[in-house]
Every structure is written in C-alpha cells, then in structure tokens.
Amino acid sequence: HTPELTPTDKAPECAIAVDVLRATSTIATVLAAGGEAVQVFSDLDQLIEVSEKWPSEKRLRAGERGGAKVAGFELGNSPLDCTPEVVQGRRLFISTTNGTRALQRVQDSPSVLAAALINRAAVVQYVLDKQPETVWIVGSGWEGSYSLEDTVCAGAIAHSLVQQTKLSQEELAGNDEVISAIALYSQWQDNLLGLLHQASHGQRLLRLDCLDDLKYCSQTDILDVLPIQHETGVLKSQKK
C-alpha cells in the first residue's frame, strides 16, 4: 500500500489523524498516563451536554480555541497538564480548534488512529501489523490550511513505513504529498524543535508562553501508546 496525505475518495481502511501542536500529542499523553478514554468534539456546547451525563469524579473537560484555554474548562490543550495524578481513570472530553475536527472528519473509517511525533513508532507498528489496503494520514493544519508540524509528522510516519517495508522510490512515484512530507522530515529530523519554532502555530503558541509544549511535542517515539477509536469519537489505548 502507499500512504496518502490528501483524502480524495471513499473512506480509507485506516485513517491516521495528526495534530502535533497539540491535540493528538495531548490525546496520546492522556492515554499513556492512564486516562480511561478521550472523547472528541468539534462543538463546545455538545461537549458540555454529553460530559454532564458522566460521573463528575470520572471526567475532565478540556477546551481550546486559538491556542488558549476556554474559560470554565478544567484543562486547555497542554499535554504537560495531563499527568497520571490528573487523568488516571478519567475520561477526557476535549474540543480543540482543528485537531478534534480532523478526527471527526475521518470517524467513519474502520480504523481511526491519533498520531503525533511522540507516539509515531506505535502508529507505524500498527500499520505494519495490520497491513490496511489504504491509509490516509490526515494533518489537522490550521483552519483549513497547511501546517509544517503535521506535515513533518506525516513524513516521519511515511519515512518509517517506507524504510521498514523497503518500498522503493519508484513505488512512491506519483504520490507528491508523501514524497514532499518525507523530504521535509529528512531535512528536519535532527532539529524538529527548530521546525516547530518556524511553524505559524508554533509561533502562536510561543506568543502564549508555551515553549515547554513545543519542546515536549517535538520529541519522537517517546510514548508507546496507540490511541484508536472504539466507538464514534471515543479513543482508547490499544492494549498490547
């Protein structure tokens, strides 16, 4: 199979949603820290309505708009706030500007994964094990436009898949998005933090004093966790 970056036709067998800064980094962190599940919403009111039916000691509500925390929610969208003490055994109800929307965009695929740089290897291993016929890597971007950080993560995933399946350059020919994402990753793989500094959303987060989030999210393969959709909009950690 050849990974595709730009969805063109019917839902793929496996959809990988990416929002390095920061929704999928946060989702992976919550599940690695023992969160029961992460339930994603594009709409804040709907999040409140659904989460109110959940026992209050077993839920956390996270809301982000424009990079900032939404007033009245326990958490914003910083993965660094999602420590085991905070999330253990709880369900995180989360709505973010772009990341949770990307997940909703692909929610009808048979397998929906959340990927970031920090859990790249776990996502790659899943694809190698399951060998899905078609794979989309869906970058969240920012309000509909391209983003460097999601593209470099797509490149990191594709680079590893290409290496491990020994796919040749000829077999990738014609897939412009994947070739350019791999080239971006090849150029920046030793300085991913530097790339996040260059990215427009990286700059937005730096203005909001979130340098530590950039540092955390720029690390590769530090969490062996696979967030996978169990029911529509609900991601859990795939047991090994």
Shortest Å distance, C-beta 112 to ligand MLT: 16
217 is a site residue for ligand MLT (CB under 6 A):
no
Shortest Å distance, C-beta 63 to ligand MLT: 10
In the bound state with ligand MLT, the residue whose beta carbon lies nearer, of 115 and 178, is: 115
150 is a site residue for ligand MLT (CB under 6 A):
no
Q: Which residue has the tokens 């730009």?
A: 6
In the bound state with ligand MLT, the residue whose beta carbon lies nearer, of 97 and 109, is: 97
- By CB under 6 A, the count of residues binding ligand MLT is 13
Shortest Å distance, C-beta 142 to ligand MLT: 6
What residues between 89 and 118 interact with ligand MLT by CB under 6 A? 96-99
Give the integer Cα–Cα distance in Å for 175 and 179. 6
82 is a site residue for ligand MLT (CB under 6 A):
no
61 is a site residue for ligand MLT (CB under 6 A):
no
Shortest Å distance, C-beta 118 to ligand MLT: 14
Classify burial at 80, counting beta carbons within 10 Å of its beta carbon; exposed 0-12, middle 13-18, buried 19 or more: middle
Of 95, 19, 18, give the one whose Cα is nearest residue 60.
95
Shortest Å distance, C-beta 20 to ligand MLT: 9
In the bound state with ligand MLT, the residue whose beta carbon lies nearer, of 21 and 33, is: 21
19 is a site residue for ligand MLT (CB under 6 A):
yes
Per CB under 6 A, the list member of 14, 23, 87, 225 interacting with ligand MLT is 23
Of 223, 20, 229, 235, give the one whose Cα is nearest residue 125.
223
Shortest Å distance, C-beta 1 to ligand MLT: 28
196 is a site residue for ligand MLT (CB under 6 A):
no
Can you give the binding site for ligand MLT, defined by CB under 6 A? 19, 21-23, 64, 67, 77, 96-99, 140, 205
